[in-house]
Amino acid sequence: MGFSFSSTRSGYLTVTFLLVVSCLLLGFFTSPVDSSALKPKSEHDCSALTHFHDYKSKCAYLKSIDPCANQGFFDYLSFLYCNFEGFPILGQFLLFLWLLLLFYLLGHTASEYFCSSLESLSKLLNLSPTVAGVTLLSLGNGAPDLFASLVSFMGESKGTYDVGLNTVVGGSSFVTCVVVGIISISLHKRRVRIERAAFIRDICFFCVAIGSLALILVYGKINFWGALGFCSLYAVYVAFVYLSCRFGGEGSESDIESIHKRGSLSEPILQRVGLEHIEDSGEHQIVEDGDHQGYYYWKRLVIWVITLPLNLPRILTIPVVSEANWSKPLAVASVTFAPVLLSFLWNWKREPTSFEAGIVYLIGCLIGIALGFVAGATTKKASPPKKWLLPWLAGGFVMSMTWSYISAQELVALLTSLGYIFGVSPSILGLTVLAWGNSIGDLITNVTMALHDGNEGAQVAVSGCYAGPIFNTLFALGISLVGCAWEVYPSSIIIKTDPRLLESLGFLVIGLVWSFLVLFSNRMRLGGVMGIGLLVIYLASLSIRIMQTVGDAH
């Protein structure tokens, strides 16, 4: 190995450095906050769309104002109203299709590239499962919610912060009620017993996180130090988990493996682009008799062709050095084009023909060419590099984070646009559509683990259902608040109190209390009563929010 760490302390310091640098790099994509208020977007312009009844007039109006959803690279409202006047259903279908593709891009980038880089980093740095689970791997599993929150708070359009808040709260409710409920109902005959100490620890910390968030919403403002304190609660959770694992006796080590195993259950990395991967894919193919081999080959080929436009840009800009997916031409290409992509993002809002933009593009190209020559001269065709792995993994980490942010940025912009199109508040879309999309992986992974990995798998799955929302609430929201508050330091950022969001938090607490009471009354055994109750609580919360939204529309 190129880097040998004589002590775990140096590895922990390196992890801390990478996390801090990654958070600072997020400022690369965001524009400065010009006000101390984070209030919902003023709709004195975009709300006027409801006064126009045909696509032509809406198109003309949109051309006369600034984009209503300007987080992303594309103006979805103008795309619909200016190009599909005669075929509105087709235009809406294309937007929904793109919505599904964006969910795929965000989740696939997180699972295939982001988690892969983080798991490799944890192994390279010789981190214990405890530290890796609550730092790097939890960051990978929570990446979709993290980046959606960052875009909502720190993107160019600060008025969508309510999307980020509702996404995190909606995702937490979905995981702790729906996912835990389905697991409980599915395992009611096996009478699986949950480890008491871990459950109490996670429930207590989650209640502290919810209470802190509710306090921020009720108070209506927070400064930099308050945001830093809120985010630091996750560090307290990490320290508590580490100490309980180190000195708490049995059960603690398997608890923290929850996030670790969830990361390893992510879908396998798809085939990289390259003719050799089409010709030599024997170890990845399903071995069947006779005609089935041809069927599976053509099936894989069709899927490869369909996903190529989505995968190719990421493959050419995200370095990957794993044994199973190593390709020297792609590795050289990725380190060459990555600086070019970053220079494009830097010049996104500049005139492409300006002198400053030209200088940035020139610097990006020169750096890319230099890195490409170095990579070509120091790597072998047969196997990934064994030395200097940390720069490769750090590059993959940063570029996968870049693509995750881009996907989340477009996703929030599209949801905001769909809110204007259908007259639905973007916050309810964040509470439902975005939260469901980001949490579907937790549902599949945790339920599968609980059903097929025995009692230990059930313990891991349930523990992960609480560890993930704790990360999303404290770290994902916390780092977003810290970034916004830093921009206006020493002033405070103003967050408009949303009573309906407080209602959702109340139902979330009710679900936690229900789980606590039922488990303790049933000697920590999962059962159908607990699962049905959690599903009823979630449906009640969701129904009330939907009825309130429909009432507002009328």
Query: pLDDT-based confidence at 156, cuts 50/70/90?
Result: low
Asked if 67 contacts 75 with a C-beta cutoff of 8 angstroms, the reply is yes
Return the minimum-mean-pLDDT range out of 117-121, 416-420, 477-481: 117-121
Question: What is the pLDDT, as a whole number, of residue 404?
Answer: 81
| Collapsed DSSP state (helix, strand, coil) of residue 222 | strand
CATH code assigned at 533 = 1.20.1420.30
Separation of alpha carbons 302 and 296, rounded Å: 10
Structural domain that includes position 513: 69-248+403-553
Q: What is the mean pLDDT of residues 143-148?
A: 74
Separation of alpha carbons 387 and 28, rounded Å: 29
Indicate the number of domains in the chain. 1
Q: Of all residues in the chain, what percent carry a pLDDT higher than 70?
A: 76
**Side-chain half-sphere CA neighbours of 26 within 13 A:** 29
What residue has token string 């400064």?
A: 223
Separation of alpha carbons 331 and 337, rounded Å: 10
pLDDT at 426 > cutoff 90: no
For the four alpha carbons of 278, 279, 280 and 285, in that order, the dihedral sign comes to positive
Assigned domain for 107 exists: yes
pLDDT at 433 > cutoff 90: no
Q: What is the pLDDT of residues 296-355, one digit of tens each?
A: 777 778 878 888 888 889 999 998 887 777 888 888 999 999 999 988 888 776 776 778
Assigned domain for 46 exists: no
Residue 233: both structure tokens together: 């609660």
Question: What is the pLDDT, as a whole number, of residue 13?
Answer: 46
Query: pLDDT-based confidence at 509, cuts 50/70/90?
Result: very high
pTM reported for the whole predicted model = 0.71
Q: What is the pLDDT of residues 486-497, one digit of tens each?
A: 888 888 888 877
Q: Pick from 100, 77, 48: which is nearest to 418 by CA? A: 77
Question: What is the pLDDT, as a whole number, of residue 281?
Answer: 40
| Collapsed DSSP state (helix, strand, coil) of residue 138 | helix
Write the single-letter amino acid at 168.
V
Residue 172: both structure tokens together: 């937490």
pLDDT at 198 > cutoff 90: no
Assigned domain for 282 exists: no
Ordered DSSP codes for 222-265: E-HHHHHHHHHHHHHHHHHHHHHHHHS-TTHHHHHHHHHHHHHT
Question: What is the pLDDT, as a whole number, of residue 453?
Answer: 64
Assigned domain for 110 exists: yes
Question: What is the pLDDT, as a whole number, of residue 210?
Answer: 93
Ranges 125-139, 196-210, 242-256, 414-428, most confident: 196-210
Assigned domain for 28 exists: no
DSSP 8-state assignment for residue 42? P
Assigned domain for 10 exists: no
Return the minimum-mean-pLDDT range out of 71-75, 126-130, 229-233, 242-246: 126-130
Assigned domain for 358 exists: no
Establish whether the linkage from the previous residue to 339 is cis, with ω within 30° of 0.
Answer: no
Q: What is the mean pLDDT of residues 463-483?
A: 86
Residue 301: both structure tokens together: 């080929």
Asked if 240 contacts 200 with a C-beta cutoff of 8 angstroms, the reply is no
Assigned domain for 427 exists: yes
